[in-house]
Structure 1
Amino acid sequence: MKGKTVIITGAASGIGKATAALFAKQGANVVISDIQEEEGKATMESIVANGGKASFFKTDVASPEEMEALVNFAVKTYGGLDIAVNNAGIGGELNPIAEMSLEGWQKVININLNSLFYGMKYQIAAMLKSGGGSIVNISSILGAVGFGGSAGYSAAKHGVVGLTQTAALEYSAQNIRINAVGPGFIETPLLNVLDAEMKEQLVALHPIGRLGRSEEVAELVLWLGSDKSSFVSGSYYPIDGGYLAR
């Protein structure tokens, strides 16, 4: 990863933060993107304090203009773009479909799906200019199955997989590999809305007997971003403690 430049959205916490730290440890120039400015800058400062190279750029991923500006910032700051990790997302409104608000539906689709189209549109254009790259889109186990009360989230994450596969068909021959990762339930701030009993119910859905850790997902993302996965494109990789095997 030494000398390569990576954009990571949603890098202020959770999977994004762990991924940023791992890429930096491997020598990458890390562009940390998040709408949470204070937490995002703290991630950057932590990386720099540990000898890594990182910059922060505040971004609302639901805005195509801001996603374009993020890519332009990375190219201007480090001279190009080699890897992008489209990770930013929200859990969204929890309601059955007939009771879900239109605003709740639109918000989760904008942040969890539209943002990846915006990101790839500008990331791919930058990578084509420099001869190629790798894009890793963070989907979910709910990109493969449904989950009651999470229609918007599940629809968006299914969409991420389809978008990933289509982009891979279009650009793999031009040396841009595009893959998706499907985490199970991971111990991140997204689960802070749940009480202890609900968390235990989630644990029971994973045959491995626990929730995942952000650092475990980061290792898979690193591999997909690296040349070690040079023959991998258009794939969807669950990392779920056996959830989908049930």
Structure 2
Amino acid sequence: MNFSQKVVVVTGGANGIGKSIVTMFAEKGANVVIADIAEEAGEKLVLALKEKGLEARFISTDVRKVDEIERLMRTTFETYGCLHYLINNAGVSRWKSPYELTVEEWDDVLHTNLRSVFFGSREAAKYMRKNETGGAIVNIASTRALMSEPHSEAYAASKGGILSLTHALAVSFADDHIRVNAISPGWIETGDYGQLREIDHAQHPARRVGKPEDIARACLYLCDDENDFITGANIVIDGGMTRKMIYIE
């Protein structure tokens, strides 16, 4: 896959999964825009990529604010003259009892994880539709849209909403040749992979915990113009955990 001269925006791109997505697109020749509130980490990543001769820039963006999303997409288009791909990756979580979760905490999760996906996609699509070949949007959801642990209501709701929003936008943007897909990661270790226990890996049918690169490669696949028959889909990348039946004996 060659993304030379393509332009991609990655929200939440300064750290974790987003950082891997940014790096992989840059290595494939894309012009990458990192959108994040983590300014120091974002600028550091840009510097590291430029030292390798790769093209990237950082735009400080709080995806909870629609005006900042609008500025992000406008600035990207003014800088590169086009916009091809958007990876909606920014997200936060709150693990708190539903009896104690505040309205402010609920809104923060929903605005960051879900509302930003709609407005980010809408604003990006305004520029993607100018392209002869359209564009592609990838929304990072979660297997927690399909199953839950206690005290994850806001996060689960936001990720479930992303799945519904994905197929709705895929249909709405079809005439503009803009594909919209989702990826639902399972356990993706963004910390010290070497500190994981053997049982952490063994419980996965794939026999290992996921890595950020596993998600980044799927983003490349879904954005590749040759895969233009894939839209409205949700790809679960969890080492098989959601297909594993578990009984307590």
TM-score, length-scaled by structure 1: 0.92
Note the C-alpha offset of 1:204. 6.7
1:7 match: secondary structure: strand
Deviations 1:142-175 (A, max 9, x none): 1222332111001000000100100001112321
1:186 corresponds to: 188
Instruction: Determine if the alignment matches structure 1 residue 121 to structure 2 residue 118.
Output: no
Which structure 2 residues correspond to residues 34-183 of structure 1 after superposition, within 5 A? 34-90=36-92, 92-131=93-132, 132-183=134-185
2:173 match: secondary structure: helix
Alignment-mate amino acid for residue 109 of structure 1:
L
Instruction: Determine if the alignment matches structure 1 residue 240 to structure 2 residue 238.
Output: yes
Note the C-alpha offset of 1:210. 3.2
Tell me which moved more, 74-83 or 121-130.
Answer: 121-130
Deviations 1:103-141 (A, max 9, x none): 221111111101101101101111112231000010011
Counterpart of 1:210 (choices 204, 208, 211) is 208
Identity %: 38
| Number of residue equivalences | 240
- Consecutive unaligned residues of structure 2, counting only runs of 5 or more, are 245-249
Judged with a 3 Å threshold, the aligned counterparts in structure 2 of structure 1 residues 64 and 205 are, in CA distance, closer, same or farther, namely farther
| Cα distance in 1 between the residues matched to 2:20 and 2:117 | 20
1:129 match: secondary structure: coil
Judged with a 3 Å threshold, the aligned counterparts in structure 2 of structure 1 residues 112 and 202 are, in CA distance, closer, same or farther, namely farther
2:247 corresponds to: none
Note the C-alpha offset of 1:98. 2.0
Judged with a 3 Å threshold, the aligned counterparts in structure 2 of structure 1 residues 55 and 102 are, in CA distance, closer, same or farther, namely same
Residues 177 and 232 in structure 1, CA contact (< 8 A), matched pair in contact too = yes
Tell me which moved more, 57-66 or 47-56.
Answer: 47-56
Note the C-alpha offset of 1:209. 3.7
Larger Rg: 2
Deviations 1:72-127 (A, max 9, x none): 1110110010000010111x221232222222211111111011011011011111
2:15 corresponds to: 13
| Cα distance in 1 between the residues matched to 2:75 and 2:139 | 20
Counterpart of 1:228 (choices 206, 226, 244) is 226
| Cα distance in 2 between the residues matched to 1:173 and 1:128 | 9
Residues 147 and 154 in structure 1, CA contact (< 8 A), matched pair in contact too = no
| Cα distance in 2 between the residues matched to 1:27 and 1:67 | 24
Alignment-mate amino acid for residue 241 of structure 1:
G
| Cα distance in 1 between the residues matched to 2:232 and 2:174 | 8
| Cα distance in 1 between the residues matched to 2:189 and 2:85 | 25
Note the C-alpha offset of 1:202. 6.4
Alignment-mate amino acid for residue 123 of structure 1:
A
Judged with a 3 Å threshold, the aligned counterparts in structure 2 of structure 1 residues 149 and 201 are, in CA distance, closer, same or farther, namely farther
Judged with a 3 Å threshold, the aligned counterparts in structure 2 of structure 1 residues 156 and 23 are, in CA distance, closer, same or farther, namely same
Tell me which moved more, 220-229 or 63-72.
Answer: 220-229
Alignment-mate amino acid for residue 190 of structure 2:
T
Alignment-mate amino acid for residue 126 of structure 1:
Y
TM-score, length-scaled by structure 2: 0.90
Judged with a 3 Å threshold, the aligned counterparts in structure 2 of structure 1 residues 63 and 200 are, in CA distance, closer, same or farther, namely farther
Alignment-mate amino acid for residue 75 of structure 1:
F
Judged with a 3 Å threshold, the aligned counterparts in structure 2 of structure 1 residues 207 and 104 are, in CA distance, closer, same or farther, namely farther
Alignment-mate amino acid for residue 118 of structure 1:
F
